[in-house]
Amino acid sequence: MEWENQEMQQAEEYLQYQIRNGLREKVMTDVQVEELRKQIVVYAAISEQLVELHKSMSAHHDFTGMRLGNLYCDSVTASIGHKITARQRWTPTPFQLQILENIYEQGTGTPGKQKIKEIASELAQHGQISETNVYNWFQNRRARSKRKLQASMAASATGEAESRTEDVVAKDKKTKPAGSDFADNIANRVESFYFQNSNAGIDQLIGKVESSRGYDSYTNLAEQYGLLG
Amino acid sequence: MEWENQEMQQAEEYLQYQIRNGLREKVMTDVQVEELRKQIVVYAAISEQLVELHKSMSAHHDFTGMRLGNLYCDSVTASIGHKITARQRWTPTPFQLQILENIYEQGTGTPGKQKIKEIASELAQHGQISETNVYNWFQNRRARSKRKLQASMAASATGEAESRTEDVVAKDKKTKPAGSDFADNIANRVESFYFQNSNAGIDQLIGKVESSRGYDSYTNLAEQYGLLG
DNA sequence: CCGATATGAATGAAAG
DNA sequence: CTTTCATTCATATCGG
């Protein structure tokens, strides 16, 4: 079947007419689709990562009210801003600390599993505590007293060129916090993003984003690529 | 201007003809575009997060210190004659962790030497790893899950008189491990994603993704939404 | 508000 | 396998 030139012309006019009057929906050409395609490709790939994040975070984090010690923490105090962190940690009361220190000073080394139970139950009378807390406390206490000792020994050896030591310290100061900032930044950002959309699944997120700023984003993006002119 | 019904019919047929024969490019309707729009909206929002991540990370981290898989080889600390311990311990990528957890959950006890080799080689595809790492991981995993079990049992046994302590114990067990896993997981995931595409800018990433699997991703995504039929 | 520091917690690795 | 050590991370607290 062949079409006369005049017929094509007429059909084209008709098509444009339909579009103008909403009788036919506006269309995108393959070229445009191709551009969108590229965008989606990239977005999809990147987004998969955060979706994965979301999943793993959801799996490991339940939002049932957390309580530890005497602190109640409403975990989902997620404001739109930042600082949504909900993790709480045990803090020994002065009394508990005193007892722990005493036991530690007694030099009975590391309390065994059984000993820990004893200590924990005793301390429990003076505040919320778990055996793990006791265990951790001794671990840290030992490790840190040892580190202090090392540090003091290193300090006593300051007889030599401290310029060298200075360099070491300087570099240490530089490298370590850098890494920490770095990681902190990541964690904070992602955490923030996650908690901002905490209870929402990815699907709900769709609606949320859409209603808030999504369409503007989309428009900008599309225009940038000359789509949807 | 009005169109006769017959003319519309003819024009429609012509349009379809053009499309069939490649004389006119295929098109997307507004409805379809709307769907794509939603996708892009979400993708864009999410992706912005990772792009920001990328920027902040680039700003804070120079790649003079290379990273082999998950092992940090800090050239700075290495160059110092002093005994600064560079980071040297293995850190499983989220993906590796997932696999390990899966295997562990399968309850197939301790993997034999052979099994470990298998696992290690599989995990090696997702990052630096050694058989020893796998071995240690299982050792620790087992030991710690056992410890936790003991602790929780002890807690419930000790907690007979707890009318005021309530279900604190139970929640204690849940909240504590969840916290750090959670954050670590985030950092690891993002870090992993970032380093996997370390040298590439986001723009280069585009090409990378496109050429590898991008179009397939797009196709799946589009089909899922009934687009591009 | 920010940075520095103290400390609770998590975890890979190694010792016993 | 069990226990311990070493390192790192995250948070709380405080002084500027």
Q: Tell me the per-residue pLDDT of B53-63, one tens digit each, with 9 for 90 and over.
A: 444 444 443 33
Environment class of A6 (CB within 10 Å of its CB; exposed 0-12, middle 13-18, buried 19+) = exposed
In chain A, the residue whose alpha carbon lies closest to the alpha carbon of B74 is: A175
Shortest distance, CA A228 to any CA of chain B (angstroms) = 9
**Which residues lie across from B46 on neighbouring strands?**
none
Q: Would you tell me how many other CB atoms lie within 10 Å of the CB of residue A113?
A: 13
How high is the pLDDT of residue B136?
93
Where does the pLDDT of residue B205 fall: very low under 50, low under 70, confident under 90, or very high at 90 and above? very low
Q: Contact A34/B27 with Cβ under 8 angstroms?
A: no
Residue A94 has which token pair? 């002065």
What ranges in B63-160 are assigned the alpha helix state H? 75-79, 94-105, 113-123, 131-158
Where does the pLDDT of residue B138 fall: very low under 50, low under 70, confident under 90, or very high at 90 and above? very high
The reply to whether residue B217 touches residue A44, judged by beta carbons under 8 angstroms, is: yes
| A180: pLDDT strictly greater than 80 | no
Partner residue facing A68 (CB), from B38, B172, B210: B172
Which secondary structure element, helix H or strand E, spans residue A73, and what is its range? Answer: strand A71-73
Q: Is strand D in 7 Å reach of the CB of A67?
A: no
Shortest distance, CA B60 to any CA of chain A (angstroms) = 6
Residues A53-106 have pLDDT tens digits of: 544 444 443 333 333 333 333 333 323 223 333 346 888 888 889 889 888 887
Q: How many A-B residue pairs are in contact by the CB < 8 A criterion?
A: 248
How high is the pLDDT of residue A191?
47
Q: Is strand C in 7 Å reach of the CB of A194?
A: no
Helices then strands, each counted (H, E), chain A? 8, 2
Q: Is strand D in 7 Å reach of the CB of A170?
A: no
Q: Is strand C in 7 Å reach of the CB of A188?
A: no
Q: Name the least confident of B5-14, B84-93, B167-176.
A: B167-176
B175: Cβ–Cβ under 8 A, 6 or more apart, which residues?
A66, A67, A68, A88
Q: Contact B38/B221 with Cβ under 8 angstroms?
A: no
Residue B136 has which token pair? 């240690």
The reply to whether residue B29 touches residue A30, judged by beta carbons under 8 angstroms, is: no
Partner residue facing A132 (CB), from B171, B176, B221: B176
Residues of A in contact with B205 (CB under 8 A): 42, 45-46
Partner residue facing A182 (CB), from B47, B60, B171: B60
A93: Cβ–Cβ under 8 A, 6 or more apart, which residues?
A126, A127
More confident residue, B220 or A35: A35
The reply to whether residue B169 touches residue A28, judged by beta carbons under 8 angstroms, is: no
Residue B74 has which token pair? 């800090």
Extents of the domains making up chain B? 91-198
| B159: pLDDT strictly greater than 90 | no
Shortest distance, CA B177 to any CA of chain A (angstroms) = 9
Torsion of CA A27, A31, A35, A40, to 10 degrees: 60
